Amino acid sequence: MTDALGDLLRILDLERLGEDTFLAGSLPKVGDRVFGGQVLAQSLVAAARTVDPDRLAHSVHGYFLRPGLISEPITFAVERLRDGRSFSARRTHALQNGAPILSMITSFQLEQEGFEHADAAPTGVPGPDEVPSVLESLERVDPRIASFWTRSSPFDMRHVDGSLYLQPATAAADRQRVWMRALGPVPDDQSLHRALLAYACDHVMLEPVLRRHGASWATPGLSAASLDHAMWWHRDVHVDEWLLYVQAAPGAQSGRGLGVAQVFTQDGVLVASIAQEGMLRLPS
């Protein structure tokens, strides 16, 4: 396990202040704002700790309300909305200085029998062993940035069509495929794996919008922020195994863009679907 993955697992081990109240810190990063995926993952862990462990999260709907500060601890207040025979619902507020930075509702379910089908994974996608890691790509361009990512990233990300960290894609497209895997083993706790998927996906959810418009994260003057986030887990997920994110950008308007993704195992099994709208602005 890398130090970065260990640090991530530690901040997901929330301190319990009361029956439904928790406290945690944040991971360091460039700038003073908390990474949105971190708050999503922590909020999911907080909600899961108030539910029967036999019930797993199957859907999340959340809104990012304010930027969080890395220097301030985050309090997670969970409201128990419902506990039915099969489903439980929780609302989680992530708070700093008494104000919510994220508000999220999570639905949990006991495993049950029912209809079973899933979209098939796309064919002809190069495997993760055939695609360079983003760390290797950055090393060739800027060793300093690569060094930071090596120390701070708990996940190995491999963009099939090239990453957008330092420059735009060679051709504009509204589709993106990314392999991702944790940089080490993760405890066999399905609630934790689902929270880590929420953390990981926030790195790439808005990238199809950038790719469609010939932009990158290094585009001068780019202002970006996640606005809302929705996830559905269809089956158990293991983030310490390779997962393929098949992404698209259905639309962009009014300084906002929508990114969607289906997440498949390396064997082609659909395990999750994700949607995120974000603010993406460029200087006029």
Residues known to be catalytic: 202, 226, 276
Question: Which 3-state string (H, E, C) describes the chain?
Answer: CCHHHHHHHHHCCCEEEECCEEEECCCCCCCCECCHHHHHHHHHHHHHCCCCCCEEEEEEEEEECCCCECCCCEEEEEEEEEECCCEEEEEEEEEECCEEEEEEEEEEEECCCCCCCCCCCCCCCCCHHHCCCHHHHHHHHCHHHHHHHHHHCCEEEEECCCCCCCCCCCCCCCEEEEEEEECCCCCCCHHHHHHHHHHHHCCCCCHHHHHHCCCCCCCCCCEEEEEEEEEEECCCCCCCCCEEEEEEEEEEECCEEEEEEEEEECCCCEEEEEEEEEEEECCC
